[in-house]
């Protein structure tokens, strides 16, 4: 039977309309995923500087002019090492004169003491002879007088010796105060004077840091206070040596809070410092505030984190999306560790534009590798 051209056109039009209606009513495709097991570590990252717990300025106790400096910035010194000295002025000749006088006084004391010992021996001999009636009373009294005179001379010599020693004790420290010595083992971080500089008493010549005890001081957003606790582990990096991290521990949270900038100050104690570290170096730290080992995890885009409670959109019967509340037990920038959701549940990969009750055509996403690499840091400061 011959079909007319008009009928063929109508049939084609009907087929096209049916196809168009099917395309219009067909559910939109949506990528779905399932929870996978991963280690999820939440980190708070911050930057600060390494500083010595003990740092001080040192200088001479006396005023004067800097004669010489024995160390430069960056020098490692030990307690008692000479760092510099003032010009001696008249202290050196005064000290030399006082020491010479003390030496003479010492010789005089020894000479007078020898004479006193001899006079006492002579007196003892006369006393024995007087008992035997072999010397007169006048001779005995003369020996006694000689001993008394010599005792007085000896005491006078000792007094002069004490005066000379007192002068040495007075001038000696004054001479010693012209020297600057390291108060403890440390590193010279700053040299504040140069030879020839006039200085006042106790003016700082050097700044010295004790590297035996150090801390890292950083600031982070005060919104992180609820996550931070003393004792949390820390990984620290010096930007100049990114491949040589070192460990530390969070030892102080606050109490300083800058309300204008909205930051809180933290202190971290390094476990062991690398040999390249210097005082006041910039240090980046990652503080581990939460860890969920081998937890069920979903991409961040699949979880409505701002909702209360957080939820996902699970694919129900016929491709209809269902709101499923979940409990967040950890997160990092890419992944969220969740609980209270069965393993193998299909959820939409991207919540944007999706809502409960919507019908979708699921497109399965290849599952992410379990375990994953090292977790990324949360970029909160």
Provide DSSP, 228-242.
--TT-EEEEEETTEE
Q: What is the structure's pLDDT at 55?
A: 85
The torsion region of residue 133 among left (phi > 0), alpha (psi -120 to 50) and beta comes to: left
Helices (H), the chain: 5-25, 91-131, 137-176
Contact status, residue 296 vs residue 36, Cβ threshold 8 Å: yes
HEC letters along 179-208: EEECCCCEEEEEECCCCCCEECCCCCCEEE
| Three-class secondary structure of residue 218 per DSSP | strand
Q: What is the structure's pLDDT at 43?
A: 87
Q: What is the structure's pLDDT at 377?
A: 38
Q: Which long-range contacts (CB under 8 A, 24 or more apart) does 243-248 make?
A: 244/274, 244/276, 246/270, 246/271, 246/272, 246/273, 246/274, 247/271, 247/272, 248/216, 248/285
CATH architecture of 60-87+178-204: Beta Barrel (2.40)
- Reading the block at residue 359, the tokens are 């019908």
Q: What is the CA radius of gyration of the chain?
A: 45
Identical fold for domains 27-53+212-381 and 60-87+178-204, yes or no, is: no
Ordered by start, the domain boundaries in the chain are 27-53+212-381, 60-87+178-204, 88-176
> How is domain 27-53+212-381 classified at the CATH fold level?
Elongation Factor Tu (Ef-tu); domain 3 (2.40.30)
17: which residues sit within 8 A by CB, 6+ positions away?
none
Averaged over successive runs of 10 residues, the pLDDT of the chain (381 residues) comes to 63 66 63 89 89 86 86 89 78 67 83 87 84 81 85 87 77 67 88 90 88 87 89 90 90 86 91 82 89 89 91 91 91 86 91 90 67 41 48
Q: What is the structure's pLDDT at 112?
A: 85
Q: What is the structure's pLDDT at 297?
A: 92
262 vs 48, 229, 244, 267, 326, CA distance in Å? 16, 18, 31, 17, 31
Q: What is the structure's pLDDT at 1?
A: 47
């Amino acid at each position: 039977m011959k079909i007319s051209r008009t009928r063929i056109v109508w049939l084609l039009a009907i087929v096209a309309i049916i196809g168009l209606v099917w395309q219009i009513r067909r559910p939109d495709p949506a990528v779905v995923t399932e929870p996978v097991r991963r280690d999820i570590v939440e980190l708070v990252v911050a930057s600060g500087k390494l500083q010595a717990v003990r740092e001080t300025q040192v200088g001479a106790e006396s005023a004067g002019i800097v004669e010489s400096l024995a160390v430069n910035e960056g020098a490692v010194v030990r307690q008692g090492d000479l760092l510099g000295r003032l010009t001696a002025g008249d202290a050196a000749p005064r000290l030399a004169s006082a020491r010479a006088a003390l030496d003479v006084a010492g010789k005089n004391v020894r000479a007078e003491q020898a004479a006193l010992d001899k006079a006492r021996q002579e007196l003892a001999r006369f006393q024995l002879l007087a008992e035997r009636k072999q010397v007169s009373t006048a001779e005995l009294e003369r020996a006694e007088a000689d001993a008394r005179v010599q005792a007085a001379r000896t005491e006078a010599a000792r007094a002069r010796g004490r005066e000379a020693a007192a002068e040495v004790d007075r001038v000696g420290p004054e001479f010693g105060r012209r020297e600057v010595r390291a108060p403890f083992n440390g590193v010279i971080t700053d040299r504040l004077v140069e030879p020839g500089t006039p200085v006042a008493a106790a003016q700082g010549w050097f700044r010295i840091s004790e590297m035996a005890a150090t801390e890292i001081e950083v600031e982070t957003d005060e919104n992180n206070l609820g996550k931070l606790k003393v004792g949390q582990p820390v990984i620290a990096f010096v930007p100049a040596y990114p491949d040589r991290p070192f460990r530390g521990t969070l030892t102080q949270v606050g109490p300083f809070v800058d309300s204008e900038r909205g930051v809180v100050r933290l202190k971290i104690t390094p476990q062991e410092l690398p040999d390249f570290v210097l005082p006041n170096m910039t240090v980046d730290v990652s503080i581990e505030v939460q860890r969920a080992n081998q937890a069920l995890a979903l991409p961040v885009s699949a979880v409505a984190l701002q909702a209360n409670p957080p939820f996902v959109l699970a694919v129900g019967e016929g491709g209809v999306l269902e709101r499923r509340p979940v409990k967040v037990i950890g997160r990092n920038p890419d992944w969220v560790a969740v609980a209270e959701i069965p393993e193998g549940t299909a959820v939409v990969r991207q919540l944007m534009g999706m809502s409960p009750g919507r019908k979708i055509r699921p497109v399965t996403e290849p599952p992410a590798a379990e375990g994953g690499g090292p977790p990324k840091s949360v970029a909160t400061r």
